[in-house]
Chains A and B, each alone.
Chain A
Amino acid sequence: MSTLSLVTAPLARVPGVAIALIALCAVFAVTSPGFATPANITNILTQSTILLLLALPMTLIIMTEGLDLSIGAVLTFASIVLAITAVTTGSPTLAFLAALAVGLFFGLANGVLIAVFDIPPFITTLGTLGIAQGLSLVVTDGQSVVGIPRSIEAIYSGAVVGIPLPVILAALAYALTHTLLYHTHFGTYVFALGGNREALKVAGISVRGMLIRAYIFGGLMAGFAALLMTARLNSAHPTAGIGMEFDAIAAVAVGGTSFERGNGWLLGTLLGVMTVGVLRNGLNLLAVPSSAQVACIGALVIIALFIDGLRGEQ
């Protein structure tokens, strides 16, 4: 492996995700005439917002050496609850609060099961994935929820001074997460949870409390993303968010956050989200079926983890 590390050592200083993103953009700009147009770029940015809302908390959770496989299913269930509340009460505010409540509940459940009951994160969230998915099916009986008030749809299609509203909301979420991670004690503890958990315990910090907060943050962001997803689809469907957790994990992994050592990089996640968004958009323009896109993203994750593994050896 020593010769391999010789090759990878200089590369490790350049963010691999930036290279990947530029390379993908160049390839699609050449192969597909519709790619490098202002309309399409706005389109990519808008479509990436939901993914970014999931990938931001996923970064924090993976930094604590955790994982949240339930985030896509929670997003789906929150979207269904949001839609049903909006249809029955007619109040978008109440509907949004209901979606946040669903997110809070599942985030808290994940956090307590992981931190207090010591159940490994991937199996905990696999279990809650089944529960959230089951609830979505049970509540809707497999049908779509339609008849959502216009005011909700406007959240996705609206724009302020030419910038799409979802992009503004996603930028606010990014700023919030950045502040949380780099400018609060909580953020410092998140770094320590992955890198040096023992030191936290010695310093008298409640490791359990910090873990629970990280998963609650994930749940709340899924509830927030449910607002954008419902507004985008103008309906809620029990399978709408299935697999979104995979795109989010892919974005975080491609962005260079390590699954084993708790090193995280929030800007990397933003670039990772853009990479996944560009890949999906470009493949769409080239008329590649969405099934093959999933296979491409799967391959992308394995390559990203492979590179991460090589870096870990240095």
Chain B
Amino acid sequence: MSTATSKAAAPRFALSGDVMQTLYRVLAVVLLCLMLTALSDVFLTANNILNVLRQTALLFLLASGLTLVILTAGLDLSIGANVALSGCLAASVMTLTGSPLLGVATGIACGTVIGLANGVLVTTLRIPSFIASYGMMWMLTGITYYYMAGETIHGFPPGFRQLGSGHLLSIPMPVYVMVLFLAIGALFAQRTIWGQQIYAIGANPVAARLSGVPVERRLVLVYTMSGAMAGLASLIILARINSAQGDIGEELTLPAIAAVLVGGASLFGGSGTVAGTLIGALLLTLVLNGMNLLQINSSWQPLATGIIILLAVWIDTRTRRVGE
């Protein structure tokens, strides 16, 4: 219990507490893998493992930006809708111009602009983040469906498709993208002044402001980064499935939130790590993959994700109460 106490009191300095929390999660991953190996013949095949890694990579990219938002005690419910609009715009630019580079630029720019808009709603207009991003989610969904009018865009240049379905040394490309952003995200959050300011805002916004942290600008930054990551994730999805439809982002927001919370970030801000979110994304992917392998109807997936979110937050609030 002493580790939990020190963790709640000073998340940054209680290394042993953080290490223990990470160990629990790694243990859960190992147990889940053992269980799935015992239950399914397919689980421990190279194909399935690569598939799990590819799915984890996608979920992690979305969840890593969201982690920064949740670190500030905010929430971004618009990431799934952001993926849909960014992906569809990128797809139509790519098929119109035939240039993968322009398509990639469009997707990331669109995601970034949406994130920036969320940031402005939350800071300048002072709308609570969950309701601002919720309104944004419906607005984006409406725009995407209107723009696509039920059409599907497919057939992208082979060079672009490498981003989602290519391999290097028989490891899927998205895994490399994931490792790259894990390194960038972890370095940014733990080793830069801006990263530390983000933790400070989440732990105590008033204290952060009084000690000179430009709270508004950092908040705009985290929402913008979350939007940019959604734009990037949309490109990986396009490259993987080689088509774009209005509903590509529909079932991504809940799993991304679940991955961040299972990864140990607190909804109340100030604690959590990008690396933790990677473990969270892996755990969630294993659960969903396991449900697939055990041939459980995919209708159960939102239900399972909902229960996982509630459990993760409940454990977090309990740990905090012990800390107090």
Contacts and interface: CB of A to CB of B under 8 A. Distances in A.
A216 to B, nearest CB: 18
Contact of B299 (A142, A260, A289): A142
Interface string A286-302: 00010111111111011
B121 A123 contact: no
B189 interface: no
B214 interface: no
B314 interface: yes
B15 to A, nearest CB: 27
B306 A127 contact: yes
A306 to B, nearest CB: 5
Interface residues of A, number: 45
Given A134-B299, A295-B139, A302 B127 contact: yes
Given A129-B306, A133-B303, 12 more contacts: A119-B317, A124-B313, A127-B307, A130-B306, A130-B307, A135-B303, A141-B299, A296-B142, A297-B138, A301-B131, A302-B121, A305-B127
A70 to B, nearest CB: 9
Interface in A50-81: 67, 69
A191 interface: no
Interface string B276-314: 000000000000000000000101111111110110011
Interface in A91-113: 113
A67 B130 CA distance: 10
Contact of A137 (B135, B141, B267, B299): B299
14 contacts: A124-B313, A128-B306, A130-B305, A131-B307, A133-B303, A134-B302, A138-B299, A141-B299, A259-B127, A289-B145, A294-B138, A297-B142, A302-B127, A302-B136
A249 B125 CA distance: 18
Interface string B123-137: 001111011101111
A305 B317 contact: no
B254 interface: yes
Nearest to A291: B145
A246 B145 CA distance: 17
A121 to B, nearest CB: 9
A112 to B, nearest CB: 11
B300 A295 contact: no
Contacts of B127: 259, 302, 305-306, 309
A126 B138 contact: no
Interface in B142-160: 142-146, 149
A118 B317 CA distance: 7
Contacts of B145: 289, 291, 294
Contact of B314 (A117, A296, A298, A309): A117
Residue among B131, B257, B301, B307 with max Cβ neighbours from chain A (10 Å)? B131
Interface string A139-175: 0011000000000000000000000000000000000
Contacts of A122: 75, 130-131
Given A127-B310, A134-B302, A295 B135 contact: no
A243 interface: yes
B300 A138 contact: yes
Interface of B: 75, 77, 121, 125-128, 130-132, 134-146, 149, 254, 257, 267, 297, 299-307, 309-310, 313-314, 317, 321
A15 interface: no
A87 B142 CA distance: 35
Nearest to B307: A131
B146 A292 contact: yes
Interface string A265-303: 000000000000000000000000101111111110110
B128 A243 contact: no
B309 A130 contact: yes
Contacts of B306: 126-131, 134
B138 A123 contact: no
Nearest to A296: B142
Contact of A293 (B75, B142, B301, B302): B142
Contacts of A295: 138-143, 146
Interface string A229-249: 000000000000001001001
Contacts of B254: 126, 130
Contact of B142 (A131, A259, A260, A291): A291
A120 interface: yes
Contact of A120 (B135, B144, B305, B313): B313
Contacts of A67: 130-131
A198 B218 CA distance: 32
Contacts of A298: 135-140, 142
Given A289-B146, A305-B132, A306-B125, A299 B139 contact: yes
A306 B304 CA distance: 36
Contacts of A302: 121, 125, 127, 132, 135-136, 139
Nearest to A298: B139
Contacts of A260: 128
A299 B136 CA distance: 8
B142 A292 contact: yes
B135 to A, nearest CB: 4
Contacts of B149: 289
A289 B304 CA distance: 33
A134 B267 contact: no
Nearest to B143: A295
Nearest to B141: A294
B151 to A, nearest CB: 12
Given A123-B309, A293-B142, A298-B135, A130 B302 contact: yes
B80 to A, nearest CB: 12
B303 A119 contact: no
A223 to B, nearest CB: 20
A124 B316 CA distance: 13
Contacts of B310: 113, 119, 123-124, 127-128
Nearest to A136: B299
